[in-house]
């Protein structure tokens, strides 16, 4: 079995060799090439821990992100990954996220990883589920179990980025549910998404996870926007 997994990993690297997340050059180690290190330093979020007053994070105990989405280099990179199916960058994204997660893992004693799910109808418009691809890679690098089907999206909704900011929370209200609460109950859950803008989506997911018995929900994304200030205040479960 181990030999088969090793072969599968080798084959995946052959088909999808790791590439620099900014310039797409093939790299030996997933992440950022030497040439793009200055770009990395320029686009890193100065404060990786997202402060509640800047986002809708009422059910989230803590949220972290690596890169600033308002930077054009980051936007172009994310668009290639999400909308042009350039999954060769996934391992590099995961490597950058894992570097940050290793710094905070001991503080929260993470038990399991969950990705923000999509509805089955969303598959018609995307080559793959970006958050799921990242979650699988982060799970391997961080050595934390990935609960792939534990959180589900039960309703097909409008895409968040097409809506006015004041309509986003209502669009995803009560659309997420936990399939098996035994997988979630009494655990610290790492909730992964590719991007956090207002925080409404990860917050709605966290609400479902908390209602299923999660002790804490820690959100992580590859990138976040810093242009929003929609904290609603207060939490049924409290925040850290």
CATH of the domain at 10: 3.40.50.2020
Between the CA atoms of 120, 123, 125 and 127, what dihedral angle is there, to the nearest 10 degrees? 170
The pLDDT of residue 186: 96
End-to-end CA, the chain: 42
In a domain, 110, yes or no: yes
pLDDT for the residue 126: 61
- Tell whether 74 is covered by a domain: yes
Side-chain-side CA neighbours of 88 within 13 Å: the count stands at 22
Do the domain assignments include residue 162? Answer: yes
Q: Is residue 229 part of a domain?
A: no
- pLDDT confidence of residue 233: 31
Asked, for residue 240, whether it belongs to a domain, the answer is no
Q: What is the pLDDT of residue 58?
A: 87
| 195: nearest Cα among 159, 164, 170 | 159
pLDDT along the chain (240 residues), means of 10: 50 70 88 92 88 80 92 90 76 91 88 89 67 92 92 77 65 85 95 90 94 96 70 30
- Look at the chain and report how many structural domains it folds into: 1
So what's the pLDDT on residue 229?
A: 39
Residue 239 lies in a domain: no
Q: Establish if 111 belongs to a structural domain.
A: yes
Residue-number span of the structural domain to which 6 is assigned: 2-224
3-state secondary structure of 164: coil
- Look-up of token digits 């997420």: 176
Residue 89 lies in a domain: yes
């Amino acid at each position: 079995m181990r030999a088969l997994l090793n072969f599968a990993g080798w084959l995946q690297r052959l088909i999808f060799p790791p590439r620099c997340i900014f310039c797409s050059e093939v790299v030996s180690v997933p992440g950022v090439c030497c040439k793009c290190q200055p770009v990395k330093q320029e686009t890193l979020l100065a404060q990786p821990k997202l402060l509640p007053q800047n986002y809708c994070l009422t059910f989230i105990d803590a949220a972290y992100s690596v890169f600033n989405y308002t930077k054009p280099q980051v936007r172009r990179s994310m668009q290639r990954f999400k909308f042009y199916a350039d999954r060769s960058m996934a391992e590099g994204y995961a490597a950058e996220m894992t570097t940050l997660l290793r710094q905070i893992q001991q503080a929260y004693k993470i038990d399991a990883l969950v990705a923000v799910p999509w509805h089955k109808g969303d598959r018609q418009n995307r080559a793959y589920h970006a958050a799921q691809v990242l979650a699988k890679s982060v799970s391997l690098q961080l050595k934390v179990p990935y609960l792939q089907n534990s959180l589900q999206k039960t309703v097909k909704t409008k895409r968040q980025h097409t809506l006015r900011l004041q309509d986003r929370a209502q669009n995803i209200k009560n659309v997420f549910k936990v399939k098996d609460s035994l997988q979630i109950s009494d655990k610290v859950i790492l909730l992964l998404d590719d991007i956090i803008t207002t925080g409404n989506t990860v917050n709605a997911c966290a609400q479902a996870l908390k209602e299923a018995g999660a002790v804490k929900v820690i959100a992580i994304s590859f990138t976040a926007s810093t242009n929003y200030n929609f904290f609603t205040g207060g939490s049924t479960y409290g925040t850290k």
